[in-house]
Structures are given as C-alpha cells and as structure tokens.
Amino acid sequence: DGGITQSPKYLFRKEGQNVTLSCEQNLNHDAMYWYRQDPGQGLRLIYYSQIVNDFQKGDIAEGYSVSREKKESFPLTVTSAQKNPTAFYLCATKDRNEETQYFGPGTRLLVL
Amino acid sequence: AQSVAQPEDQVNVAEGNPLTVKCTYSVSGNPYLFWYVQYPNRGLQFLLKYITGDNLVKGSYGFEAEFNKSQTSFHLKKPSALVSDSALYFCATRGGWGKFQFGAGTQVVVTP
C-alpha cells in the first residue's frame, strides 16, 4: 500500500450508472495499472498507462474508461456498458527503473 | 504469450511445518517472476522476485523461492509456517510494457 491510495473503499452502483474509482500515488512512478479481481480468477488487466496523457487497453477493457492527465492520478470509470461490474478493483504503479509493481488497498464495487 | 500457473487452489499446513506454494511458468526468453501475498480485502503485497542471478531468492517475512529452469518452476517456500501466513498467494510474470500475468492464486491455511 504505502504511497498509493484508492478511494472509496466500498462503492455502490445503481443500474445504468457510471461510477469513478480513484487511484492516487506519491511515489513518482511513471506507470500505472488497473486490475479487476474476481474469486478464483486471479487479477485481470483492465487498462494501463506508461506515461501522462497516454494509456492502453488491457485484456478486459470493455465497459471501462480511464484518463491520465496527471502523473499522480489514474482514475477508472466503470460505465453502464459493463454488465457485471461487481468485483474488487486494484490499482498498481511501477517505476521505470524497476520491475516490481506496487499495489493500492483496493476498491470493492457492488451493484444495488 | 507469458503465463504462470498455480496448480493448487488451497494448501493446508500445520503451524511450524514447512510451507510450499507451487508455481510453474511458460515464458519466452528470460523470465521475470514475482510472488505477492494478499490478506482479505487488502491490496497485494510484494514478497520477492527473480530477475537474474541466484536461483534461490530470499524475500520478506521469511519467505524464499527457488527458480528451476529445467522444471520451469518458481515455488514459494517458508521453513516454518505461522498462523499469520494464512492468506492468498499469487505468482506473476512480467511481459511486454511492464504488464503482469497473474496466476489464479493459492489460498494458504495454517492451522494452530
């Protein structure tokens, strides 16, 4: 966890609603990642960003969107097009000179 | 494509006994391998990594892992398990653009 914060800890989404998950870091890391965790499936990559103002789709990007306007921030929006959004969402960061990814504490998204 | 596999959904061990969590990899080129631990409703914590060098890698909390190229394995080990080691453990490999591929995870249960 350390210098990576995710908010809120729990988030409830109504049918047809877009919701945004926050990820902020003070580690000065260039790369940031969003993962989705479902029981028994490990972590799956949604989006990633190597540098400000640039991001790429991961393995399960459909129904999600991101922005990277600042180095410190990489918010994830879960759109109404994501039909099964209930999951634990994890943000991670990586320094350009290191191989290890470091994770935030996560946000659990539940559908009302 | 880079991938890792964790063949056991759950490992049960008595406190004080050795703990082993298995991971095999399928990687083109030199593998970059990682172990993480996750406690309930928390983010992933980095334990150790293998990039190059000695096949026995030492990490946090008394854990170590052995890289075996001939068996394409990277098993996590601890000589004497603690009840507090009960958690979900993930093996991962790094692919292009710093993207990670995670195994499905192994639940470790240490009984007193």
Give the pLDDT confidence score for residue B6 in this predicted structure.
97
Percent of the residues in chain A that have a pLDDT greater than 70, as a whole number: 98
A16 touches chain B (CB under 8 A): no
Tell me, what's the pLDDT at B30? 87
In percent, the amount of chain A with pLDDT more than 90 equals 83
Task: Give A93 or A42, the one with higher predicted confidence.
Answer: A93
Question: Is pLDDT above 90 for A72?
Answer: yes
Confidence of residue B14 (pLDDT cuts 50, 70, 90): very high
Which residues of chain A have a CB within 8 Å of the CB of B48? none
Instruction: With CB atoms and an 8 Å threshold, state whether A100 touches B105.
Output: no
Q: Are B74 and B68 in contact (CB under 8 A)?
A: yes
Rounded to a whole number of angstroms, the CA Rg of chain A reads: 13
Rounded to whole angstroms, how far apart are CA atoms A74 and A56? 12
Give the per-residue pLDDT at B52. Answer: 86
The residues in A 72-101 lying below 8 A from B, measured between CB atoms, are: 88, 90, 92, 94, 99-101
pLDDT at B106: 97
> Are B102 and A90 inside 8 Å of each other by CB?
no
In this prediction, what percent of chain B has a pLDDT beyond 90? 87
Is A2's pLDDT higher than 70? no
How far is the alpha carbon of B107 from chain A, nearest alpha carbon, in Å? 10
pLDDT at B97 over 80: no
Out of A100, A104, A105, the one facing B46 most closely (by C-beta) is A100
At A16 the pLDDT is: 86
pLDDT for the residue B102:
95
Q: Quick one: pLDDT at residue A39?
A: 85
Per-residue DSSP letters for B17-75?
S-EEE--EEE-SSS--EEEEEE-TTS-EEEEEEESSS-SEEE-GGG-EEEEETTTTEEE
Is pLDDT at B25 greater than 80 in this prediction?
A: yes
| Residue A31, phi then psi, degrees to nearest 5 | -95, 140
Decide if pLDDT at B27 tops 60: yes
Mean pLDDT confidence for A11-35: 95
Query: Does the pLDDT value for residue A1 go beyond 70?
Result: no
At A103, is the pLDDT very low, low, confident or very high (cuts 50, 70, 90)? very high
Asked whether the beta carbons of residue B49 and residue A56 sit closer than 8 angstroms, the reply is: no
